[in-house]
A and B are shown apart, each in its own frame.
Chain A
């Protein structure tokens, strides 16, 4: 956690901030979802509460807090109340393990009559060094929350929704896990920082049967090395987050509301926080693996630091380092938001699959294609060494 009080406090505050950012992004995303759907369906959407209707979700949250607490007659209290808490945990844990910005170095400084530092801070909650493994492991715990909700409510619609959800999540986890093998072979590491470092630098450079080629106007992003894997990963992450066109657990025509039929008020909102948290994790992974993470295309990392320190934005080198990292964080947030917009766009464009079609797509289409992607990448790498 740190070697003195300052570092420990900063690390704790950082984790709280990551969690608060996740929770605070949810109202914005719900607002965005409503506004975008309204735009796509040629209506207004929420536009009364606050500017552009931005305060709508705050009003909703206050209303949710004052809803009547409800507990189903035959329900199991531990499961019923534990499920929304469990829904919060995996998304936040996974998000805190992804680097949200460049790490920054603080030099020794005097504050409160004491010498502090030097410190090295990372813009993430914790770095295990195994990167993607911990994210995959933690985020797959999300299935437990759905199962607990379905089982604890003692309602057949909830149970069916929960069973469907967990069967769907485990099926698509295969394609999701396998689609990442190709890109891991290309980068040859599990660590997010190494992956991002390999994607910085401008010209797309690759080794084609012994001859080094480079395309000057393309950034060195992972998607150019593994486009099929990126596509499969993105499609599977829709199923992992239970979003349309894969939102069978909530198919309201058949199952009322799926696993959260018996929930209302703030507990229901916590399920939504979990779902949007999963979406953020999937978008962040997409940005990190295939779109260069927090780096800016066409701009070198050093030139950002030079711009901050020479532009008069910050005089002290420590503040300059912090500001540079903050700029990278904003860039990362922008990339994540682009993918979240695609999620919303797809949700209001595509209809829902039938359940057998969904399972067939997962097992008989996406899993073989992910395997094909793995084999293709392996053969490609063995015959034409990619790293230069």
Chain B
């Protein structure tokens, strides 16, 4: 509870400090008249045609989706890693190894399928 309170206070300090810096730097600088050419999105000198709303490669979405699946699988390994030695010490090392072996087998099958399906082939 006390750690959480300290954490929240720290978030407040950081956000306040960041906002203070942004406000300070944007109030100290010179403010010349707005210039339409200058305010345009940067496009190496020519008038821009594409904006941030233009379409992006589907690969990025695929990467994000695959990341969620694999990240959750990795998160499942954390409690296993934490209780591993307790099982080994009580003589059940083979049980915990086999139980996780099945899980890691599924993980590997998923990884192989993902590589075979060329979902992450950025050259295509």
Q: Is A156 a contact partner of B77 (Cβ separation < 8 A)? A: no
- Which of B14, B81, B111, B123 interacts with A368 by CB under 8 Å? B111
Q: Is B41 a contact partner of A74 (Cβ separation < 8 A)? A: yes
Closest-by-CB residue of B relative to A382 is: B93
- Beyond A1-B6, A382-B97, whether A266 also contacts B22 by CB under 8 A is yes
Q: Is B13 a contact partner of A174 (Cβ separation < 8 A)? A: no
A266: chain B residues at CB < 8 Å are: 21-22, 24-25
Bound complex: CA of A375 vs CA of B108, how far in Å? 12
Does A352 make an interface contact (CB < 8 A)?
Answer: no
Bound complex: CA of A88 vs CA of B12, how far in Å? 12
Closest-by-CB residue of B relative to A168 is: B63
Q: Is A381 a contact partner of B85 (Cβ separation < 8 A)? A: yes
A173: chain B residues at CB < 8 Å are: 67, 71
B42: chain A residues at CB < 8 Å are: 155, 157, 256, 261-262
Chain B at the A interface: mostly helix, strand, loop or mixed?
helix
Q: Is B22 a contact partner of A156 (Cβ separation < 8 A)? A: no
Bound complex: CA of A66 vs CA of B31, how far in Å? 11
- Which of B10, B48, B88 interacts with A382 by CB under 8 Å? B88
- Which of A65, A84, A374 interacts with B77 by CB under 8 Å? A374
A182: chain B residues at CB < 8 Å are: 81
A356: chain B residues at CB < 8 Å are: 121-123
Q: Which of B29, B32, B48 has most chain A Cβ within 10 Å?
A: B29
Q: Is A156 a contact partner of B54 (Cβ separation < 8 A)? A: yes
Q: Which of under 10, 10 to 19, 20 to 34, or 35 or more describes the interface residues of A?
A: 35 or more
B interface residues, tally (CB under 8 Å): 74
- Which of A126, A159, A188 interacts with B52 by CB under 8 Å? A159
Closest-by-CB residue of A relative to B75 is: A177
Closest-by-CB residue of B relative to A383 is: B93
Does A367 make an interface contact (CB < 8 A)?
Answer: yes
A385: chain B residues at CB < 8 Å are: 85, 88-89
Q: Is A15 a contact partner of B9 (Cβ separation < 8 A)? A: yes
Closest-by-CB residue of B relative to A71 is: B39
- Which of A81, A155, A184 interacts with B22 by CB under 8 Å? A81
Q: Is A85 a contact partner of B18 (Cβ separation < 8 A)? A: yes
Q: Is B97 a contact partner of A378 (Cβ separation < 8 A)? A: yes
Does B102 make an interface contact (CB < 8 A)?
Answer: no
Does A115 make an interface contact (CB < 8 A)?
Answer: no
Instruction: Tell me how far the C-beta of A259 lies from the nearest C-beta in chain B, rounded to whole angstroms.
Output: 11
Bound complex: CA of A76 vs CA of B13, how far in Å? 24
B27: chain A residues at CB < 8 Å are: 69
B6: chain A residues at CB < 8 Å are: 1, 11, 15, 125-126
Q: Is A178 a contact partner of B10 (Cβ separation < 8 A)? A: no
> Which of the 9-residue segments A89-97, A303-311, A325-333 touches chain B?
A89-97
A to B contact number (C-beta, < 8 Å): 215
- Beyond A167-B64, A359-B120, whether A84 also contacts B18 by CB under 8 A is yes
B108: chain A residues at CB < 8 Å are: 371
Does A290 make an interface contact (CB < 8 A)?
Answer: no
Bound complex: CA of A254 vs CA of B70, how far in Å? 30
Q: Is B74 a contact partner of A69 (Cβ separation < 8 A)? A: no
Bound complex: CA of A160 vs CA of B108, how far in Å? 31
Given contacts A74-B41, A256-B42, A371-B107, 18 further A-B contacts (CB under 8 A): A16-B13, A66-B30, A67-B29, A126-B2, A127-B3, A129-B3, A150-B52, A151-B52, A155-B52, A156-B52, A167-B60, A266-B24, A356-B121, A356-B122, A363-B114, A371-B108, A381-B93, A382-B93
Identify the 7 closest CB pairs spanning chains A and B, nearest first. A85-B18, A356-B122, A266-B25, A69-B26, A382-B93, A126-B6, A155-B41
Using a CB–CB cutoff of 8 Å, the interface residues on chain A facing chain B are 1-2, 11-12, 15-16, 19, 64-74, 81, 84-86, 88-89, 92-93, 96, 125-129, 133, 150-151, 153-160, 163, 166-167, 170-171, 173-174, 177-178, 181-182, 184-185, 188-190, 256, 261-262, 265-267, 270, 355-356, 359-360, 363-364, 367-368, 371, 374-375, 378-379, 381-383, 385-387
8 contacts between A and B (CB under 8 A): A69-B27, A74-B52, A85-B14, A93-B11, A166-B64, A363-B114, A374-B81, A374-B104
Using a CB–CB cutoff of 8 Å, the interface residues on chain B facing chain A are 2-7, 9-11, 13-15, 17-19, 21-22, 24-32, 36, 38-44, 48, 50-54, 56, 59-60, 63-64, 67, 70-71, 74-75, 77-78, 81-82, 84-86, 88-89, 93-94, 96-97, 100, 104, 107-108, 111, 114-115, 120-123
